[in-house]
Structure 1
C-alpha cells in the first residue's frame, strides 16, 4: 500500500492525463520500491511503460546527487519516447517531512506540432527555400528540451535488465569500445560511472550489468570494492 499522501496523487495523475491530453504522459513514482516504482501512469503510449516499471536513469541520478533536497522540481529536460521522439520532461519532487517519498513526472511529446509547423512553412515556400533559409536554432529557446552529446536523455523501460543494459550501452558508446574488448581499467571506469548514475540502487542490477559487460558478477563486486563503495544488497 502506497503512502497515504501518494494515494492522493494517484487521482491527480489520472486527472492531469485526461486534462492535458494524449500528448502528455503523467507518471507517479513511489520511492519505497525503486524496482517497481510506478504506481500510476496516464497516456503510457508515450513511453511504453506500465504500472510496476522501475525508476529511470534520470530519477536514479537525482537520488544520487540529492538535488531534491534543495529543489522542489526539475523542468524541461530531455527525454526519449518509445518511438524515439524527443520529449520535454519535468518532474516534481513529493516530500514528506523533508524526505523524498515520490516523484510526479510529465513527459510532453510535441513532435506533431513541430511537424505541423514544418508543413505550414512548406505550403508557403518550396522545400529547398525552407531548407536553405528557414533554419530555426532551437538552442536559443530555454524552454525546449536539449540533448547535448555528452548528456544522455531520460530513457524509459519496463524492466531492471533494460535499464541496466541501456546504461551500459551509453557508457560503451561514450568510450567507443565493445564489451568484449574492454580492459580492466575501462571496465572499472564504466562501473564507476554507473555507480555515480545510481544504477546499483536497483536490486539485481549487478547481475544485469555483468551480463551487459560480458563479465562475472564477482568482477562487478570487485570493481565496486575498488571504488570503496558499499556492496549492493542482492
Structure 2
C-alpha cells in the first residue's frame, strides 16, 4: 500500500471510529507487511490490538486464495478476540489501479452492551428463564468455527492451534508424534500462517522439531 493510500484510508479509519462509536473497532491493514500489518486502528480496545499488529488468519487467507479477485468485500462473519469474545466482522478489500490487493479495511463490532440491554428490557415483562431460553446460543460452536481470530503475533496463533489440538485429542505436549505434528502444520498451513515471516521458526520451536522438518511437512500437505 503506497503512502497516499495509507493517508487516505487512515483518515477514514479515524472518521468511522468516531462516527460509529466505541463498540466498533476499525482497522487498516497493509498487505505488504504481514508482521506489522496494522497501520491505523480506532477503538483498538475491542480486540486489544494496536498499530504494528500482525495480519489475521482471515487476511492471510484472502491473500493466498486471491478472494479479492472475485469479490470486493465480505460482511457479517464471526471474529474472535484474544479474550474469546465473539465479534461481528466485515472487511473491505482495498485494491490498487491494477486491481491487485493493497490493503484491508475491517470493522469489528462488539455487541455485548446491546445484548445486555436487550435482555434487561425483556426481563421487565418476561420471566428470567424465558428470556434465557430465547436469547442464549452455543457460543462455543461459534468460537470454534469463527472465520477470523485476532492475535498479537504469529506465536500466539500457533500456540492457540496447538493447545486446541492437544486438548481435543488428549495428548500431552511432550508426546506429539510425527503424525500429530503433520496434522498441526496442516491446520496452520490452511490458515495461511506460514505466509508470516518467522512463522516456520516459531512452529518448529513449539512443535519441538527442526525448521527443515516444518518445511518438509508443508510440502507434504501442499502436495496431498
TM-score bracket for this pair, using the shorter chain length: 0.7 to 0.9
3-state SS of paired residue (1:124): coil
Contact 2:29 2:105 in 1 (8 A): yes
Deviations 1:26-57 (A, max 9, x none): 00000110110000000000011110000011
The separation in 1 between residues aligned to 2:2 and 2:167, in whole angstroms, is 38
Aligned equivalents of 1:78, 1:212: Cα separation in 2: 27
Tell me the matched-pair count: 222
Equivalent in the alignment of 2:52: 52
The Cα shift of 1:5 comes to 2.0
Query: In structure 1, what is the equivalent of residue 151 of structure 2?
Result: 157
CA distance in 2, matches of 1:26, 1:170: 29
Q: Deviations over 1:60-98 (max 9, x none)?
A: 122222211101001111112344321000000000111
Q: Is the 8 A contact 2:88 2:108 kept in 1?
A: yes
**1:47–1:213 distance in 2 versus 1, CA, 3 Å:** same
Task: Report what 2:175 is aligned to.
Answer: 181
Match of 1:193 in 2: 187
Q: Counterparts of 1:102-117 in structure 2 under 5 Å?
A: 102-117=103-118
Equivalence for 1:70: 70
Distance 1:62 1:175 in 2: 29
Contact 1:89/1:108, CA 8 A, preserved across alignment: yes
Tell me by how many angstroms 1:185 deviates.
1.7
The equivalent residue for 1:84 is: 84
Shift of 1:167: 3.4
Q: Deviations over 1:108-167 (max 9, x none)?
A: 001110111111111223323434xx524879xxxxx99547624422122232233223
> Partner of 1:188: helix, strand, or coil?
helix
Tell me how far apart the structure 2 counterparts of residues 30 and 129 of structure 1 sit (CA, whole Å).
Answer: 46
Question: What is the alpha-carbon distance in structure 2 between the residues aligned to residue 72 and residue 185 of structure 1?
Answer: 38
Q: In the alignment, does 2:15 pair up with 1:15?
A: yes
What TM-score do the two structures reach when normalised by structure 2? 0.87
Could you say which residue in structure 1 is the equivalent of 2:39? 39
**Matching residue of 1:222:** 216
RMSD over aligned Cα atoms: 2.5
Mind listing any 5+ residue stretches in structure 2 that lack a counterpart?
A: none
Is 2:114 the partner of 1:130?
no
Distance 1:71 1:161, change over 3 A: same
Q: Could you state the TM-score of these two structures normalised by the residue count of structure 1?
A: 0.84
Residue 91 of structure 1: SS of its match in structure 2? strand
Are the equivalent residues in 2 in contact too, given 1:29–1:37 (CA < 8 A)?
Answer: yes
